[in-house]
Amino acid sequence: MATIEQRYHEKFPKSLEWYQRGLSLFPHHSEGPGKMGSSFPLAFDHALGPRKWDVDDNEIIDYGMGSGSLIMGHSPPEVAEAIAAQAVRGTIVGGSPMSGPTTHEVRYAEAVKRLLPAAERVQFALSGTEVTYLALRLARAYTGRTKIIKFKDHFHGWHDYVALDSNQSLGGIPKETLDTVIIAPPDIDAVRRILSQENDVAGIIVESHGAHYGSFPLQNPQFLQDLRELTAEHGVVMIMDEVVTGFRLSSGGAQVRWNIEPDLTTMSKVMGGGQPGAAVAGKAQIMDLLAFRGDPDWDSVHRVTHTGTFKALPTTAAAGIATLEAIAAKGINAKADAHAQRLKDGLNGALAKHEVPGHARGLASLVHINIGADCDCDRDLCTMSHDEIHRTAASFEKTRLFRQAMLVNGVDLMGGMGVPTFMVSSAHEDAVVDQTVDAFSQALQDLRAEAAV
């Protein structure tokens, strides 16, 4: 019988050709060997709803969903139509010295504010990395302090101030920059000790559901509530990173789900509707540090500057407005959450059937799977310690082999530090979920045949 690796090569030969074609063109082609070990990444051609098709015309059920961007699935009609309608009317219409916010940008901000009560002001950008960078600058400018606290393993993009202890290499980052970052364990007593000893902390940034979009979950709402109290007590800016959780853990993200009011929120993914969109939003007195005041000293020296040719592009705004309006009016979150619950139940059933240790768990439309480690949690929030999750997480090689086994059986999903994740959308209807569970069940048998589980 052919191995999983052999079947992978047999099923996706044209993807290998495209991978080899790009090897001399890019320094890190398609995040190739770095993420896929000795194999190659797939080259996808098109997508619709919960599925995508590769260059060999294999039909794959997708749970990567644009790294969690597509809560309505690929190319939902209202979003695709909004982009197409705007594209013929102009893809970029600002850019002159007299240009203010476009009508699209105003409507986009209004759509954000309707779902996010803490968003007194909104500033658009292109990516999650850009908005976490801007949020940290705002925190330093507002407080007059220098240092930032981030949590161990939490990911906030690739820029210098958040790369430390986030499973990223640190090439090219000055030591002086790294020295302004304090790494804290996700433990409120540890944060309390740091704040009692450090008087130069400007802000604390937190992945709202825990490291790697909840693969290593925080015990919320208590943790975020305690963090909100501590930051307020010490005059530190609380930044909730909702790049993944925004408009996904609820229609208003983690903060609405758990009734937390941060000082600043960073968001991207879902709010862009599959287009490059992101934003910082929050309290007016902080956000207004971006505003001109007609004072030459303030405007040219002290103001926080943020510019960008492509922020809030009309096509991005059109996609974002269509997505956020659908979330507000069409029960998108409830549908995605229900599909995720069915998937979670099915995956746990398959693990039990095949007597493979492990469990599927997660909140809302995020489903994480630990293969090889189980606990007595309620299958929503895992109660294993983060050290235990790290210790029992699948190795790089086993994670690669598991993802290959899923792909040869027709399913793609996200990584997550040895804790693979299914990003579920409202398009993953019952029949799709049931097909996914069947594929997972077959993948477990394939892995067992190679003594990998």
Summarize pLDDT for 191-232 with one digit per residue, the tens.
999 999 999 999 999 999 999 999 999 999 999 999 999 999
As given in the structure block, the two tokens for residue 115 are 């779902």
The domain limits of the chain are 4-75+331-449, 77-329
Mean pLDDT of the chain: 93
Q: From the centroid of its chain, how far is CA 386? A: 19
Q: So what's the pLDDT on residue 26?
A: 85
Residue 380 phi/psi, 5° resolution? -100, -70
Q: So what's the pLDDT on residue 98?
A: 55
Number of Cβ within a 10 Å radius of residue 120:
15
As given in the structure block, the two tokens for residue 57 are 């015309």
For residues 399-411, average pLDDT: 94
Residue 201 phi/psi, 5° resolution? -90, 120
Sign of CA dihedral 183, 185, 186, 190: negative
Q: So what's the pLDDT on residue 395?
A: 79
Q: What is the CATH number that goes with domain 4-75+331-449? A: 3.90.1150.10
Number of Cβ within a 10 Å radius of residue 37:
16
Q: So what's the pLDDT on residue 36?
A: 45
Say which CATH class 77-329 falls into: alpha beta
Reduce the DSSP state of residue 45 to 3 states and report it.
strand
Q: So what's the pLDDT on residue 95?
A: 65
**CB 412, CB 428: distance < 8 Å:** no
Provide, rounded to the nearest whole percent, the portion of the chain with pLDDT above 70. 96
**CB 350, CB 437: distance < 8 Å:** yes
pTM of this structure: 0.94
**CB 322, CB 332: distance < 8 Å:** no
Residue 413: Cβ-neighbour burial (10 angstroms; 0-12, 13-18, 19+): buried
pLDDT at residue 425 greater than cutoff 60: yes
Q: How confident is the model at residue 37 (pLDDT cuts 50, 70, 90)?
A: very low
Buried b (16+ CB within 10 A) or exposed e, 324-356: bbbbbeeebbebbbbbbbbbbebbbebbeeeeb
